[in-house]
Chain A
Amino acid sequence: MVVGVLALQGSFNEHVAALRRLGVKGVEIRKPEQLQNVSSLIIPGGESTTMAKLAEYHNLFPALREFVKTGKPVWGTCAGLIFLADKAIGQKTGGQELIGGIDCTVHRNYFGSQIQSFEAELSVPELVSKEGGPETFRGVFIRAPAVLEVGPGVEVLAEYPVSSTSVLYSSSAVQIQEENALPEKKVIVAVKQGNLLGTAFHPELTSDTRWHSYFMKMGSEAQEESPSSIVPVGGVDPSFNEKARIDLPIYQ
């Protein structure tokens, strides 16, 4: 089974490396034609505005929407989640194009800028029941979005608590102590709808491959009929001539 990773910008190398750890071949996708050879797709983290711009230029949006419509599994992390959402707020002036597919509203850069980026232990019961392993998952949130609301058909896989006092107001001079008054709100950080998976955090930046194998299982469930493409094992790669990119280390 071949998994495509949209390789316009961002952490596509990290996803390919994570797939390699599972023994799965990841193919970098830059042109619409390449989408025909893959059975599932990962849209990596990065800058969604940059990726949208490049996708437009390479005329990828129609092919991507088609891919989603045919029901093939697609997983978006962070910027990828923004692409897969039906609605996004906090967009740049003038808006940006989305692929759509998951019936939800996503808020770009929900937690703030880099200073507010963080790591958190997330409780993901669905993942633990399907994949086993430790109870929590180390979620790395880098200028992450959050899903504000979901439609009826969307499964919520993980949530993160935020204090109700707005995240946007953070001044070290004035601290409003309201912890007792308002209840804690939770925002959704992982969703699944049919064969579409979206996470606001970056599993590819951790050594925990459970999300990747969860996604692979989604793929193999979808593919009962024997497929399609003859994938060249060693030899000629669609991404000819590219020197193997050496991976960055994973920081714990």
Chain B
Amino acid sequence: MAGTGVVAVYGNGAITETKKSPFSVKVGLAQMLRGGVIMDVVNPEQARIAEEAGACAVMALERVPADIRAQGGVARMSDPQLIKEIKQSVTIPVMAKARIGHFVEAQILEAIGIDYVDESEVLTPADEENHINKHNFRIPFVCGCRNLGEALRRIREGAAMIRTKGEAGTGNVIEAVRHVRSVMGDIRLLRNMDDDEVFTFAKKIAAPYDLVMQTKQLGRLPVVQFAAGGVATPADAALMMQLGCDGCLWGPEFSRAATRQEEPERLCRL
């Protein structure tokens, strides 16, 4: 532990390079995705449709969250071959999901060369207690959150982008709204708070004090925040944007409709 505060548990030899990967570069891609839509896709054809329709990135999956809920069983990282095929079929950024805490799945995804890893609660968690130490990776991570404390904890672990957890696969936006209102509400509360009270607030939401203070000064999360989990219609997406999100992730509800090209196009124009 060399005084940087980050303990390298996994070793940097195998796949990841030991070159410095500045946080600004990780966050930079998220900033380029602002105002855009990230679509869930399960095969290269859908990825091409999403790119044509104007998606700013695609999330490559084997099974959409709705199917995972319906079929049960253990949901793991998708087949690397499928992800590679999707990556080769489009020119826009490709993201893929890894199980919470499963840093080897993240190493595999990084080796494939995709653009972002989503450490996702939609898949079956691999570690009940801990998340991946995302600082060890060159590839940026996006993590879900239900409230401000969770968001800041993930950011401290190294997430370069945050999304609301919502309730993926249901088509019901109520949970996503609940989560974004919780985050924005806490930020609004924090902004008006006396500086001396921030210490206790940080303890209460179980988040690192330095990030809580940074959030207070900025008036927003220090990283890009997207909406996800149940966004099902253009109106839902507009709702999330107006509540304070920088963009949306659309999922299964649209993957089904993606066979007709007009649907995704209509939805991207927000």
Residues of A within 8 A of B (CB): 7-14, 45-47, 49-50, 53-54, 57, 78-79, 90-94, 108-109, 112-115, 117-119, 140-143, 170, 172, 202, 205, 246-252
Q: Is B234 at the interface (CB under 8 A from chain A)?
A: no
Q: Known contacts being A50-B36, A248-B31, is A109 close to B91, with CB within 8 Å?
A: yes
Give which listed residue, B56, B115, B218, B265, contacts A246 with CB less than 8 A.
B218
B113 touches A115 (CB 8 A): yes
A11 touches B48 (CB 8 A): no
Measured between beta carbons, the chain A residues less than 8 angstroms from B220 are 246, 248
**Cα distance, A141 to B219, chains bound together (Å):** 27
Give which listed residue, B22, B35, B138, contacts A115 with CB less than 8 A.
B138
B91 touches A49 (CB 8 A): yes
Measured between beta carbons, the chain B residues less than 8 angstroms from A246 are 218-220
Give which listed residue, B23, B33, B52, contacts A47 with CB less than 8 A.
B33
Q: Is B268 at the interface (CB under 8 A from chain A)?
A: yes
- Specify the main secondary structure of chain A where it touches its partner: loop
Give which listed residue, B36, B87, B219, B265, contacts A113 with CB less than 8 A.
B87
Q: Known contacts being A115-B110, A119-B25, is A143 close to B93, with CB within 8 Å?
A: yes
Q: Known contacts being A10-B36, A246-B218, is A140 close to B91, with CB within 8 Å?
A: no
- Among B20-34, those with CB < 8 Å from A are 22-25, 27-29, 31-34
Q: Is B158 at the interface (CB under 8 A from chain A)?
A: no
Q: Is B203 at the interface (CB under 8 A from chain A)?
A: no
Q: Is B54 at the interface (CB under 8 A from chain A)?
A: yes
Measured between beta carbons, the chain B residues less than 8 angstroms from A247 are 218
Residues of B in contact (CB 8 Å), total 49
Can you list 10 pairs linking A and B with CB atoms under 8 Å apart? A10-B33, A14-B31, A49-B51, A50-B54, A57-B269, A92-B90, A112-B113, A114-B29, A117-B25, A250-B24
Count of inter-chain pairs, beta carbons less than 8 A:
131
Q: Is B66 at the interface (CB under 8 A from chain A)?
A: no
Measured between beta carbons, the chain A residues less than 8 angstroms from B111 are 172
B28 touches A142 (CB 8 A): yes
Give which listed residue, B22, B29, B91, contacts A90 with CB less than 8 A.
B91
Q: Known contacts being A94-B52, A114-B140, is A47 close to B92, with CB within 8 Å?
A: yes
Measured between beta carbons, the chain B residues less than 8 angstroms from A90 are 91
Q: Known contacts being A9-B34, A114-B93, A246-B220, is A205 close to B28, with CB within 8 Å?
A: yes
Q: Which of A93, A202, A248 has the most CB of B within 10 A?
A: A248
A54 touches B269 (CB 8 A): yes
A113 touches B114 (CB 8 A): yes
Measured between beta carbons, the chain B residues less than 8 angstroms from A78 are 32
**Cα distance, A157 to B117, chains bound together (Å):** 35
Q: Is B116 at the interface (CB under 8 A from chain A)?
A: yes
Given A53-B268, A113-B87, 6 extra CB contacts under 8 A: A10-B34, A92-B92, A93-B48, A142-B32, A248-B27, A249-B214
Q: Is B125 at the interface (CB under 8 A from chain A)?
A: no
**Cα distance, A13 to B27, chains bound together (Å):** 14
Measured between beta carbons, the chain A residues less than 8 angstroms from B56 are 9, 46-47, 50
**Cα distance, A97 to B269, chains bound together (Å):** 17
Q: Which of B89, B91, B115 has the most CB of A within 10 A?
A: B91
- Among B67-99, those with CB < 8 Å from A are 87, 89-94
Proximity bits, B183-200, A CB within 8 Å = 1, else 0: 000000000000000000
Proximity bits, B215-244, A CB within 8 Å = 1, else 0: 000111011100000000000000000000
Measured between beta carbons, the chain B residues less than 8 angstroms from A119 are 22, 24-25
A249 touches B222 (CB 8 A): yes
**Cα distance, A148 to B10, chains bound together (Å):** 39
Measured between beta carbons, the chain B residues less than 8 angstroms from A79 are 32
CB distance from B179 to the nearest CB of A (A): 19
Q: Is B207 at the interface (CB under 8 A from chain A)?
A: no
CB distance from A57 to the nearest CB of B (A): 6
CB distance from B244 to the nearest CB of A (A): 9
**Cα distance, A93 to B37, chains bound together (Å):** 20
Measured between beta carbons, the chain A residues less than 8 angstroms from B168 are none
Measured between beta carbons, the chain A residues less than 8 angstroms from B35 are 7-10, 12, 46
A251 touches B24 (CB 8 A): yes
**Cα distance, A55 to B48, chains bound together (Å):** 19
Q: Is B152 at the interface (CB under 8 A from chain A)?
A: no
CB distance from A131 to the nearest CB of B (A): 22
Measured between beta carbons, the chain B residues less than 8 angstroms from A7 are 35
**Cα distance, A45 to B91, chains bound together (Å):** 15
